[in-house]
Amino acid sequence: MHEDHSHRHLHVGIDRRQLRESAEQQLWPNFRRTATTDWLGPLKDGLRSIGRPELATLVLAVIRGLLMDLDATGDTTRTDRAFRDSLGSLDAVEHPSSGHRRTGPPV
């Protein structure tokens, strides 16, 4: 008779994830919150120089996503290009107060 052990893989996966998350908390408590709060201010300040501080959360999300991508794939050429493209696309994002797109040189 064959026993079904498929559920064991699920438990092992959950245990590993919980262990990893626990280790991350021990190595750098509150990393997720800190990585957001520590980076958001400087990004907002930098984007204020081009009149777009409201895009700080968007830019931070792109940076975090690309860092995860780079960590998973190691493809610096592609992720660097994607970051440059995302910065260039900031011109196309409408400014909330005017409803108009930003004009001027590309970011």
Query: Residue 55 and residue 107: Cα distance in Å, rounded?
Result: 12
- Per-residue pLDDT of 24-63, as tens digits, reads 556 667 777 777 788 899 999 999 998 999 999 999 999 9
Higher pLDDT, 4 or 81: 81
> For residue 104, is it left (φ>0), alpha (ψ between -120 and 50) or beta?
left
Residue 45 confidence (pLDDT): 95
- Which residue type occupies 87? L
Write down the mean pLDDT value for the chain: 77
* CA dist., res. 95 & res. 55, Å (int): 9
**Residue-level pLDDT at 23:** 61
**Measured CA angle at 90 (ends 89, 95), to 5 deg:** 135
